[in-house]
Amino acid sequence: MGSLSELFAPESVAVVGATDREGSVGRAIVTNLRDEFDGSVVPVNPNRESVLGLDCYPDVGSVPDAPDLAVVVVPPQIAVDAVEEAAEAGVENVVVITAGFSETGSDGAARERELVAVAEEHDLNLVGPNSLGVMSTPVDMNATFGPEKALPGSLSFMSQSGAFITAVLDWANDQGLGFKDVVSLGNEAVLDETDFVREWGDDPDTDVILGYLEGIDNGQEFIRTARDVTDDTPIVLVKSGRTDAGAQAASSHTGSIAGSDEAYEAGLEQAGVQRVETVQELFDYARALSGQPLPDSDGVAVVTNAGGPGVMATDAIGDSRLSLASFSDETISALQDALPDEANVYNPVDTIGDADIERFRSAIDVALSDDGVGAAVVVSAPTAVLSFETLAEEILALQEKHGKPVVTCLMGGESTEAAADVLREGGIPNYFDPARGIRSLEALSEYRDIRDHTVEPPAEFDVDRERARDVLRGAKRRGDNRLGVEAMDLLDAYGIPTPEGDITDAPEDAVSVAQDIDGPVVMKIVSPDILHKSDIGGVKVGVENEDVYDAYEDLITRARNYQPDATVIGVQVQEMVDLDTGTETIVGMNRDPQFGPLVLFGLGGIFVEILEDTTVRVAPVGRDEATEMIDEIKAAPLLRGARGRTSADEGAIVETIQRLSQLVTDFPAILELDINPLVAGPDGVQAVDIRLTVDTDKL
Amino acid sequence: MGSLSELFAPESVAVVGATDREGSVGRAIVTNLRDEFDGSVVPVNPNRESVLGLDCYPDVGSVPDAPDLAVVVVPPQIAVDAVEEAAEAGVENVVVITAGFSETGSDGAARERELVAVAEEHDLNLVGPNSLGVMSTPVDMNATFGPEKALPGSLSFMSQSGAFITAVLDWANDQGLGFKDVVSLGNEAVLDETDFVREWGDDPDTDVILGYLEGIDNGQEFIRTARDVTDDTPIVLVKSGRTDAGAQAASSHTGSIAGSDEAYEAGLEQAGVQRVETVQELFDYARALSGQPLPDSDGVAVVTNAGGPGVMATDAIGDSRLSLASFSDETISALQDALPDEANVYNPVDTIGDADIERFRSAIDVALSDDGVGAAVVVSAPTAVLSFETLAEEILALQEKHGKPVVTCLMGGESTEAAADVLREGGIPNYFDPARGIRSLEALSEYRDIRDHTVEPPAEFDVDRERARDVLRGAKRRGDNRLGVEAMDLLDAYGIPTPEGDITDAPEDAVSVAQDIDGPVVMKIVSPDILHKSDIGGVKVGVENEDVYDAYEDLITRARNYQPDATVIGVQVQEMVDLDTGTETIVGMNRDPQFGPLVLFGLGGIFVEILEDTTVRVAPVGRDEATEMIDEIKAAPLLRGARGRTSADEGAIVETIQRLSQLVTDFPAILELDINPLVAGPDGVQAVDIRLTVDTDKL
């Protein structure tokens, strides 16, 4: 059991601010608790003798045994004191319903800081403030002021919107969808989404963790926790504020600083979270994951009595990560035996409109027996020869017999209701629309891969951290926060290959560096103030040794003429990189407010600038993840020998991504970094140019 | 009224094959008709005196007044005779329910051909065979053997799957969704989807045309008809068999030859059809289009009493073609007056959880008054201070007052039911999920653009058709069906610019052609048997005049050595095209079995081969459509001066697409054609190479 088990299963609950005034929150909570709760309910209010027939205490300290949980509904001005008093009386779990904290401006924010200080001092498990409350069905506890109570079930649900909980419960009760715990997270002053993910991951009675979130406070901790939890328990989230308009609305709603949705997308995927976009998907996923086993394989059998709807189901499979199963010869011959001549014995199996229950049953049975079938969808139009209810019972029995996931599309209205009840009881998702049924199977397949996926620990390369720190401090020494090619040594310190060469600050040095390099060289002006070097003629390509001296002087002159007050560090003299056999790629990084360092990979030029063909991961990035990043790029075939090119050394790219990941994880001072281009050739990679921004205070 | 008005509104219906045998189709149809139909029902069966209490006639000829419609349910062996007999008795409309025609093999196919011959001879409006029947609610006619009858309404619905109709009616009756006409298309031996689109386009009682189709017989005619109809009446279709697996399933279901989904996608869009993927979307679109006015603009106001759900609605807007409206200063100040301080007066408007009906109403009223607001979505969580039903009534009144489309998301279960009924009556779509509500508004916006869109007639360029025909016959003369660069004249005949040059068959001629061209030339072997010319050294670039003679001989020798029996037409001598300022594009065409010529555009090389960044249109293609094709290409910025390039002459590309469209429309013999590359530079385009395949029988 998790550390919050007492919060959800207290033996006694104090309601601080209990009252019987009609329409008040205090009354609503006492009523909700008194009516059903297995434990004892203790109203606390210095102005009352009793509330709704229960003995009332003036303060929590006066209650004979310290309650396990205090629900605080007093006005904001006295809420912090009330929490402190409860803590001093020995209460360890507190739900602050009271609003008027950080969501209301600076006074409220100050009040919230006081609340956090009290919670930390007493090591409180504190939900809220500004929360609708919490529920837990095993002990029949409804410690919310909402009008609805959850049905018992195995879903645990958290929400940053209290109203959304009210709406969902109203609807779910109608749908027969049950919950284990429900939490309205409120302002998350103390306990946040990560705490509840951890708690429910440890809870044997929670089969699926659901959430509506507008922001995640600490992305890195969330990823670590969720990765661990999703080995046993699926997590399905709506993270809203996906779009620019939505993010702005979310930010004005909860006051959260909007991180980029790209970071959430990457972070949630790395966390093993199944992110969905709509309310409908959230609960469709919940139903499937809580009701059905996971498929061993992705081959789906479609069994129907109606050709057209069978085609629709097949289309939906074609749109999904699943595939239409190919039947074995035995299956086909068994179907031929079981079905009339006009039937289609190939997948999708069409048992024909006059199929009775026995024919339909046999076809499903045979299809589920095929080893190539991981799951089945049964699609039925209403016909005179078929009772949906009997069909539902047969399907339940077959699902149990074969232990493979099954979803149904009993297509109709009222005529399906009794059957739908049977299927719901048995945990089989049933929708009119075949596309929703297939999506449910997809949810199972996704989670199977998440459960089976092992995240390898990121490699720890042997690097020269001190040398890297020294390079980064170069910016600080110059009173700047930007670094350019003068930071190539940073890459060298972290084992990322760079072309031969050096920064020189005298023409003689340039000549001497050039002489050590085979063949002609590239020379570039080095100045943090000159961003577009090529535009001012600050780059010379293919310079022969005998021209290096003059080229040096010319570059310096051009820089001075262009911008007399520019800081000029010198001239970089660099080996020519073979761009004929190599492909220009980009490896970069920026820092997200919630998730920290985001590592980016893409092909250079038009692929980044016009086609936006890039992919990101939250660092640290392991080898498998770095490899996936290359796979995700649409233009990846260009690295793999498409159109007569020589294949690039992918291993070297993967290693560069990992080394960069280690660098930006080691140095929180690096705010942004781009290696552009990283030229990937058949014999390895070379980082030709670099640009970065640092937070000098962190060095 | 359309030409099929009698089919849907007959005064008398004969049921040929009527019987009272329990469980028979003949009995089901007579029962369905007898119970409700406004007109008279005439059973026809030589073996009965009466059927279900109605006088029965031995044949249609014996019925005193010829019936307006005959529904045929006799066995397949005598069905064609029965239809002929009815026709001879003066019946003009026939629905053949009987199965056992082309869907069952070659005997059935022969029978269907006979049926078509009879129908043509007598000019019959014939539905089926293998149809579930037809319904029309204004005359309460249910001439189907299905168990459910449609509720009255303004949707007309056709389906190539009878089972899907059964399922939809069962469900729609439960949802209060009504229909004008319903047709089960069956095998479409005579009347097909295009006929019903035309009919319903002329029908003032049909507000929306809906269809489930697995194939469209004559794509070109469908496009022409649907374009015309969608000026007044929206058409929403599920065209299944979208995916490879689905297409195969559809083909085995209906026996239709699968055209490419790319052609359907382009053709349906050009037809103004709103194509949806799922059953849910089909009816969500139907509800919105039949119940709400079209928005003048795409700015949407969100008004809610719950922050979280408001963010979800905003996200859904961000995902859609719509935008979050920006309020005017007057609106904001009016909202400030109407709402408490904690409310959010900017879009999405949050009236806060304690909003009563009057506050909510004012906010919606103010928002809908803003000129920048084209539509509104009202999102409400259940609260103690709000009756959903009253809110629904207020929303209806406000929708009528402002005449702008409104959708609602009353989030809850049973508590929303009375309100949902009110909204349904008033034509306002209501869903729990904000994403579905926004999608409904999107359907309206899409249709507004379709309605307002004028398709210009394709330009008719002045071309040399005879010369083109002569080039195409070149293949026939050689006994081949392929043409290569020797067909460059074809482009010239259709006014598509080609580089200077010619095909030569002697070295002296090659020299003379080269001398007429400025600068060095490109020389290529011309042979239909050598596809990859470069691979065998069959292309020489930058040949100076003095080297042309030897180059000619060398090319011929290489061709002979490579493939001694190859037909060698000669050597092409061509002006060098400037690839530095030009961009390689591809303009191509292939012929789809349903839609005919499909014209393709894309950028050359990796963009086509790896990124599949191409777009197609069904020819003939007008100027606007050709322009849209360029807009749809992701890499289009490369033609528009991205990354320091010179902008290409887009007008010349657009004209080339149109001229190619004219060429392939003029010559059905052209099966496939590729201009690759078409080099697009700042001063126009040049078609550098061509390859095509012709059907020599059509020349």
The H or E element spanning position B397 is helix B388-402
Instruction: Show the tokens assigned to B467.
Output: 């010369």
- Inspect the interface and report whether the beta carbons of B311 and A174 lie closer than 8 Å: no
Rounded to whole angstroms, the Cα distance separating A664 from A596 reads: 9
Output the pLDDT for position A529: 84
Rounded to whole angstroms, the Cα distance separating B135 from B181 reads: 5
Output the pLDDT for position A604: 85
pLDDT lower than 50: segments of chain A: 1
- Inspect the interface and report whether the beta carbons of A324 and B245 lie closer than 8 Å: yes
Rounded to whole angstroms, the Cα distance separating B158 from A274 reads: 38
| A346 near B CB under 8 A | yes
Instruction: Show the tokens assigned to B34.
Output: 């007898």
Percentage of residues in chain B having pLDDT higher than 70:
99
Output the pLDDT for position A256: 54
What Å distances lie between residue B16 and A78, B36, B42, B43, B524, CA to CA? 85, 19, 9, 6, 71
Closest residue in A to B213 (Cα–Cα): A308
What Å distances lie between residue A529 and A483, A567, B435, CA to CA? 10, 6, 48
What Å distances lie between residue B339 and A79, B30, B408, B661, CA to CA? 27, 62, 20, 59
CB half-sphere exposure, B163, CA atoms < 13 A: 24
Residue B324: which of A172, A245, A606 has the nearest Cβ? A245
Rounded to whole angstroms, the Cα distance separating A255 from B401 reads: 36
Instruction: Show the tokens assigned to B97.
Output: 């329910």
On chain A, the residues whose CB falls within 8 A of the CB of B315 are 240-243, 245-246, 277
Q: Please identify among residues 398-437 of chain B the ones whose CB lies closer than 8 Å to any CB of chain A.
A: 411-416, 432-436
Question: CB count, 10 Å around CB of B208?
Answer: 25
Rounded to whole angstroms, the Cα distance separating A370 from A328 reads: 7
The residue type found at B203 is: D
- Min Cα distance B16 → chain A (Å) is 22
Instruction: Show the tokens assigned to A179.
Output: 């919950």
Rounded to whole angstroms, the Cα distance separating B225 from B201 reads: 9
Please give the mean pLDDT across all residues of chain B.
93
- CA angle B405/B407/B408 to nearest 5° reads 150
Report which of B57, B33, B275 is spatially closest to residue B142, judged by C-alpha positions. B33
Flag whether pLDDT at B259 surpasses 70.
Answer: no
Q: Please identify among residues 225-244 of chain B the ones whose CB lies closer than 8 Å to any CB of chain A.
A: 238, 240-244
Closest residue in B to A347 (Cα–Cα): B249
Rounded to whole angstroms, the Cα distance separating B267 from A222 reads: 47
Output the pLDDT for position A253: 62
Strand A93-96, strand A125-127: pairing:
parallel
Flag whether pLDDT at B316 surpasses 90.
Answer: yes
- Inspect the interface and report whether the beta carbons of A433 and B384 lie closer than 8 Å: no
Rounded to whole angstroms, the Cα distance separating B630 from B634 reads: 9
Report which of A527, A132, A426 is spatially closest to residue B384, judged by C-alpha positions. A132
Q: Which stretch of A578-582, B320-324, B542-546, B598-602 has the lowest confidence by average pLDDT?
A: A578-582
- DSSP code at position B57: B
CB distance B526 to B559 below 8 Å: no
Chain centroid offset of residue A538 CA: 44
On chain A, the residues whose CB falls within 8 A of the CB of B279 are 312, 432-435
Instruction: Show the tokens assigned to B44.
Output: 């026809």
Rounded to whole angstroms, the Cα distance separating B527 from B478 reads: 11
CA quadruple B55, B58, B63, B68: dihedral positive or negative? positive
Q: Please identify among residues 633-672 of chain B the ones whose CB lies closer than 8 Å to any CB of chain A.
A: 634-635, 637-638, 642-643
CA dihedral B490, B491, B494, B495 (to 10 degrees): -140
Chain centroid offset of residue B472 CA: 32
- Min Cα distance A314 → chain B (Å) is 5
- Where helices occur in A43-179 by DSSP H, the ranges are 76-88, 106-122, 162-175
B352 sits in the region (left: phi over 0; alpha: psi -120 to 50; else beta) called left
On chain A, the residues whose CB falls within 8 A of the CB of B317 are 243, 245-246
CB distance B513 to B501 below 8 Å: yes
Rounded to whole angstroms, the Cα distance separating A234 from B137 reads: 49
- Where do we find the tokens 């620990």? A457
Strand B93-96, strand B125-127: pairing:
parallel
Instruction: Show the tokens assigned to B181.
Output: 């006409």
| B32 near A CB under 8 A | no
On chain B, the residues whose CB falls within 8 A of the CB of A244 are 318
Residue B382: which of A167, A253, A311 has the nearest Cβ? A167
| B132 near A CB under 8 A | no
Kindly report the pTM of this predicted structure. 0.94
Q: What is the largest CA-CA distance in chain A?
A: 101
On chain B, the residues whose CB falls within 8 A of the CB of A346 are 252
- Inspect the interface and report whether the beta carbons of A309 and B381 lie closer than 8 Å: no
Residue A501 three-state SS: strand
Q: Which residue has the higher pLDDT, B532 or A1?
A: B532
Residue partners of A505: CB distance under 8 A and separation at least 6: A569, A570, A571
**What ipTM score was computed for the predicted complex, to two decimals?**
0.91
Rounded to whole angstroms, the Cα distance separating B28 from A527 reads: 88
Rounded to whole angstroms, the Cα distance separating A128 from A166 reads: 16
- Inspect the interface and report whether the beta carbons of A243 and B314 lie closer than 8 Å: yes
A70 sits in the region (left: phi over 0; alpha: psi -120 to 50; else beta) called beta
What Å distances lie between residue A377 and A316, A321, A434, B168, B251, CA to CA? 11, 15, 8, 19, 20
Output the pLDDT for position A119: 97
B203-229 pLDDT, tens per residue?
999 999 999 999 998 999 999 999 999
- Inspect the interface and report whether the beta carbons of B252 and A317 lie closer than 8 Å: no
Rounded to whole angstroms, the Cα distance separating B467 from A68 reads: 95
- Where helices occur in A320-433 by DSSP H, the ranges are 329-338, 357-369, 388-402, 417-425
Rounded to whole angstroms, the Cα distance separating A592 from B299 reads: 31
Residue B638: which of A147, A316, A610 has the nearest Cβ? A610
CA quadruple B536, B539, B542, B543: dihedral positive or negative? positive
Res. B2 pLDDT band, cuts 50 70 90: low
Return the residue in B281, B315, B351 with the most chain A beta carbons within 10 A, the one to mutate for interface testing: B315
The H or E element spanning position B6 is helix B5-8
Output the pLDDT for position A485: 85
Q: Please identify among residues 598-637 of chain B the ones whose CB lies closer than 8 Å to any CB of chain A.
A: 605-606, 609-611, 634-635, 637
- Min Cα distance B555 → chain A (Å) is 23
- CA angle B20/B26/B29 to nearest 5° reads 105
Q: Which residue has the higher pLDDT, A313 or B248?
A: A313
Rounded to whole angstroms, the Cα distance separating A132 from B237 reads: 44
Output the pLDDT for position A258: 55
Rounded to whole angstroms, the Cα distance separating A461 from A463 reads: 6
On chain B, the residues whose CB falls within 8 A of the CB of A163 are 305-309, 353, 381, 383
Residue B204 three-state SS: coil
Rounded to whole angstroms, the Cα distance separating A261 from A238 reads: 12
Rounded to whole angstroms, the Cα distance separating B211 from B235 reads: 8
The residue type found at B293 is: P
b/e sequence B654-675, b meaning 16+ C-beta within 10 Å: bbbbbbbbbbbbebebbbebbb
Q: Which residue has the higher pLDDT, B612 or A599?
A: A599
- DSSP code at position B533: G
